[in-house]
Structure 1
């Protein structure tokens, strides 16, 4: 992957990139990001333990439940090897609040909201907005974003659609984190596209598996996903 510096001059325009290279490179090394929706903070430790033992050491913890923020502290306090990303950052004040939690490495959103992106920039939270169209890619670019969440990936047409909308921007070396409809069955196809930085999804540890405490199945899915990624991208 091309080095993404914090600032780069293109013509007379200086771009202030919102995802520092050290963060994007770590995300790429991790490869698989397990998307978690924690309904009970007491499940945070066992689900993350199952993921780590399965080789998955990056998560996107969605801000969709009251238990989400308490879970951040629990996870960060026990698992230094887990890269913690925070998802569903869609409201004013969330980026600034999340940045204050020790252990949080980056944030993502389902869409491209200039106000949220600017707040993340101002508070220093590495951030990837969600895109689904060329217009959203252009808007994200204008705000200094080159690591983009492709969401909802399968709902928008999957890998072929992503390749199509990326084509006009290929010379800019954008990178994507696809989420939405990704599964073990289509994981390999996505991993083969070099513009994909990492792959996220809830299939590894979905709400039902977490709710029922099926840590063994979460561990199995984590191992399978990580092995598929390594088979294609290398260790």
Structure 2
């Protein structure tokens, strides 16, 4: 059994779709000895949100805009990321990872690639329930006295490493195996989150379509949740695909 800890950063989440600019990971064995680690920087093929490079930003990216843009796009890393996430006898973990899992699924949609089908355990929920303590990754790193020397938060590889270290502390304190600790917790499924995202986008499309009919003389008002169907999103094709997959799954 191997553990893969990963984290992603996005250039923006406009239209409800994240555009990945980095995929950082740490692959280790059951003793938390590192086997492989990297930060895959990529051109998001999309504009960066304005606050990501501001010095005072709470979510400031670790590299310059130019550093991301000069790298290949997501499809060039697709096989590597797919092999990391789908490998057999591998437990995939992240910190507050629901959006990360959903974003990987929608990046596959954006580039017309087959879904990367994997489950991911969210160690954040486990930590909060175990220690009765609320906080983000930096709060748990500080609480556990984990060194951050030479590393920055919102650097994907560093965040993946910090996620591994807080998990290692959890295992040590509990006296149980990681598998035993995670047994009561349901992982996030990329397949399920992809379906949820499709339904959300499609529902939003219908809402805006009805608004347009009701107000033909002007631009329809945006719904409360500011998510629209991107121009590349063929919702009919994707819904048909999901229905077919559900039949195969016997659902």
* TM-score, scaled to structure 1: 0.24
